[in-house]
Structure 1
Amino acid sequence: MSDKVKLIIDTDPGVDDAMAIFYAAAATDIDLLGLTTIFGNVTVEMATRNALRLVEAAGLDVPVAAGEKTPLQLPPFKPSFHVHGDEGFGDIPAVTPKGKAIDEGAVDFLCRMAREHKGELVLCPIGPLTNIAKAIQQDPAFARNVKRIVLMGGSYREGGNITPHAEANIYHDPHAAEVVFASGARVEMVGLDVTHRILCTANDFRDIAAAAPKLGGMLQDMSHFYLAFYKSVGKLDGCSLHDPAAVIACTHPHLFTAENVGITVSCDGDKSGATQTAKDGRAPTAVYTAVEAAAVKGLFLEALARLS
């Protein structure tokens, strides 16, 4: 029996999504079973195109399933082009991939894979949680079938990055996040409390490109726009390792410190998207509140150096 983590990444690529997917491609302890796409950094159509481009660039033979286009209840919103560029990959122009998404939609794919890999499948959502919430609503056994849901999103004590209270992935579909946190599934929240502690600098991207000219060079080309955004908001020392940290937590949770606490999500008002302590006795979420930042960053850089 393989010791590799059976993983599906739910993604809205996105520069840091590309970093996370390339990490998963290089990691020797991950069995990547597929990607599902979601709106967020870009539209879901662009996310699907970008996900296909990434798996083809990395030489991965994994399915890509297109996901939901809009939040559960909120109206559609403008993607984060100012953060990730007009096509999602910084200044890199769009490329039409050779492959296509599978005919099965993301929600059906997630439900099926959770049944087929019951008790083994780890989900890593690194965008809004709409696909995951709809899978929970569609299949009453889904929350029990998955082993863990390790999500990039939320903030416990750190404050928000899109409003003073909310992290972007949760903010863009708070109703879906509430469904996930209330589901009874084993949920782990890799939020801003830890991702803000792990930074990737321009020199790091340069070193990645030197070690792996093709894929590392692609990431370096993406990074220029991304790092410029961070500088524009006063963060001069690099970009936070948001999405890669969540993927690393899937295989190396011992590098993080968690507090087990029930989480609820505010769904309206100026605190919409805030992840707060629940009062209803729901199953606890493992909220990551501290991280061995140097070790996590080291794993990321080591893996990326193995890419061709």
Structure 2
Amino acid sequence: MTQDLTPKQALIIDCDPGVDDAVGLLLALAAPQLEVLAITTVGGNVPLEKTSRNARIVSAAAGRADVPVFAGAARPLARPPAGAGEFHGAEGLGDETPTEPQTALAEGEAADALIDIVRSRPARTVAVAVMGPMTNLALALRRAPDLVDRLAPVVVMGGARSEGGNITASAEFNIWADPEAAAEVFDSGLKVIAFGLDATHQVRATEARIARIEAIGGEAARLAASTLRFSQRIERQIVGWEAAPLHDPCTVAWLMRPDLFELRPCRIAVETISDLTRGHTAVEFRVEAAAAPHLWAVSADGEGVFDLIARTLEAAA
């Protein structure tokens, strides 16, 4: 057997689990091509104490309790906290009944941990996948502007353009929850790759796709399937869609298989002043490709993403 000598992509996952965050974490923690250095949590889908607990529950389910979990910002930079428990369950993990994890939170604040980890590695080698509001990353950039020149790809789930929003007519939840943080990150000079609703709505948890994951066996696949079942039921009840979109795991899937997505160079700005359009992402494609500060996902191979999830969880089971 030939040994794979391809270096792993070092990764910090910033998240607010959240049912789709849970699937994204399970995928990343099982991915042989990723080295998850840390998980940082933020208040978002549910409050911080629950997202921090849930991240440790998911890590344990993946058999990766060794990955440190750092609690971060409990509230947005300039606004009251907002939640999305109706789409994630009161505890954030759908139908699961969470218990207190055996592994304690790591010492220190998420933003500081992010700074320390990135600075401890060679420049441009540590990626960050942001699956929730961008508060922790914005705080880290305020404290350490040199991160702009040190971070590898920053991949975020957030925003909407042609699809419209899922919280308001034009705003997606992660951006809407802390638009000031998102605006700071997009304006920072970082090369940000954004996976908004335009792409994630093409990645749907159909009955056949959920059943395939259920058939794998093992705790990680069981938890992934459980959260997908919950999302399927809630989307049918609240939105009327037959198959729920899978948002946050698209960030991890791109790091593993960029060929599953089509990206376009752009410039992204975030509305922070108007209450009517709070969190709107203005995605401007009329830019010179070589100088474009951001990339926007315009399409996704939904079947390919779910095949990647199933194969990765199956190999790790």
Fold conserved (TM > 0.5)? yes
Identity of aligned residues (%): 34
Q: Which runs of structure 2 are paired with 1:38-49 in the superposition (5 Å)? A: 38-49=42-53
**Residue among 15, 21, 26 paired with 1:22:** 26
State the partner residue of 2:227. 222
Letter in 2 for 1:256: F
Q: Which runs of structure 2 are paired with 1:81-100 in the superposition (5 Å)? A: 81-100=85-104
The answer to whether structure 1 residue 185 and structure 2 residue 190 are counterparts is yes
The answer to whether structure 1 residue 71 and structure 2 residue 76 are counterparts is yes
The answer to whether structure 1 residue 115 and structure 2 residue 115 are counterparts is no
**Equivalent position SS for 2:295:** strand
1:212–1:306 contact (8 Å) kept in structure 2: no
The answer to whether structure 1 residue 275 and structure 2 residue 284 are counterparts is no
Deviation at 1:280, TM superposition (A): 11
Letter in 2 for 1:73: A
Letter in 2 for 1:75: P
State the partner residue of 1:288. 297
The answer to whether structure 1 residue 164 and structure 2 residue 169 are counterparts is yes
The answer to whether structure 1 residue 206 and structure 2 residue 211 are counterparts is yes
The answer to whether structure 1 residue 146 and structure 2 residue 151 are counterparts is yes
Output one character per residue of 1:150-172: Cα deviation in whole Å (capped at 9) or x when no partner: 00111122211111100100000
State the partner residue of 1:303. 312
State the partner residue of 1:253. 258
Q: How far apart, in 2, do the equivalents of 1:128 and 1:73 lie?
A: 13
2:209–2:306 contact (8 Å) kept in structure 1: no
Letter in 1 for 2:218: P
CA RMSD after TM alignment: 1.9
Letter in 2 for 1:188: I
The answer to whether structure 1 residue 8 and structure 2 residue 17 are counterparts is no
**Equivalent position SS for 2:145:** coil
Q: Structure 1 regions of 5+ residues with no counterpart?
A: none
Output one character per residue of 1:117-136: Cα deviation in whole Å (capped at 9) or x when no partner: 22101000000000010111
Deviation at 1:92, TM superposition (A): 1.2
Deviation at 1:39, TM superposition (A): 0.8
Q: How far apart, in 2, do the equivalents of 1:76 and 1:62 lie?
A: 27
Letter in 2 for 1:36: T
**Equivalent position SS for 2:215:** helix
